[in-house]
Structure 1
Amino acid sequence: MLSASLILLASPSWAQEGNLATIEIIDIEHRSPSEIRNQLTPLLHERGYMGQIDNKLIIATTAANLDILQQRIETLDVPPRRLIVSVDFDYREPGTAAVTDSIDENTETAVTPDPAPERVQAVEGEVLTFRSASPVDDAVEVPETDPDAEPGDVGSNIQPQLLMTAEIVEQQAHISVALENIDGFSGQHTLQIPLGQWFVMNPDAEGQPILALQVDVLP
């Protein structure tokens, strides 16, 4: 973090607090300046000002408040970290018995186990796509007469899909999620979840698979 500062004469209101008014120009090297600015705004002095030019933040505030903001910037403006992201389209809580490979004695039919969670390594901010291995129960087939059907669409089932990006802020994963083909739950969602813990997105689902995701940081 590179910075240059200019000490100005204190305004009367700030002088009463025993602080000089200070202008600081801070280069943001690794992260989005606008996102860091949003994180700093709640900490800015009520009479302070914060602007942005390219990758620089221009901050006018008291010296004491500037110290607080600079400490916060040091925790936010870090190189992107590598993550482990897991998505389970049919989540079972830990300790719940899952179906295993077996033969049904009554029908002599093989029982297929639940698919394992999808797990990938990624970098903060990278767009990830996950697709369920199983189509939705009420999957719709594209009619052969549909003039808008794409090659390969005819007779194919619709699969639940999840697109997401994740960034780490302190000990939480800040996640933006777009869900498709999930009955009653498709659309955009913004989440803040603890690291290393499964988060169930649709806990109130009735008769539908439970969707859960997990984010952790690689050491």
Structure 2
Amino acid sequence: MASVITSSENESEEENSSTFQNIMRHIMSFKDDPISILLIRHPPVRTSIEASNQRQVPLHSGAKAMLVCQKNTDQFTLIVLPAHLSCDNKKIASILGISQSKLRMATEDEVRKITGCIPGAVPPFGALFPQYVKTLIDEKMSQSTSHPPPLTFHSQVKLFSTNDSEWPNDLSHIILSETIDQNRNDCINFNIGLRTISCSIPFNDFLKVLGEKNYFICDISK
């Protein structure tokens, strides 16, 4: 099982690539109707602004994924919304059928346990985590899209390669696309299980990967 070490100025944390690998196995299973994705490697990022700067895409096209919990239970839900917006806890609680006082953000330990990722690396695929969780997607996400990242990268950014250590060994035969139609403007962008790897994917392909029974599109932002 591959792992990588990422660091920033004030922290050094070990990341496990299992969630990234499981997502890629799932994406590559769509053989009859392939998923359009572009993977890029960049310096580790934790915030949405850092990520958008490295990807060279608008902040609003970032899909911010946050794990919430119903207090005194083990009921977790993944919240996905455009990176320039914030959660509306009152709306989220109402959709979950609980009082706002019963809703809290997951702890870092819970994030690791449920998603297999460290904070800042969580992808918007609750159904593909080590522990399944339902995904609530803000209705504004479908309009908060952009062109994919330009292929004229910053000096520390490059295309991800299947030769990179995080790529699953059992997918070594896969030829990973090194381009995505630069004319399309329906892509969302997010860290895909690791703080050093971002994915750009058309919104409808994102929903297809997640699976229609695994998400609910609703108004959860402010």
Where is the strand percentage greater, Structure 1 or Structure 2?
A: 1
The two structures share one fold, judged by TM-score above 0.5: no
Where is the helix percentage greater, Structure 1 or Structure 2?
A: 2
Q: TM-score, normalised on structure 1? A: 0.22
Q: TM-score, normalised on structure 2? A: 0.22
Query: Greater Rg, structure 1 or structure 2?
Result: 1
Higher relative contact order (CA 8 A, sep 6+): 2
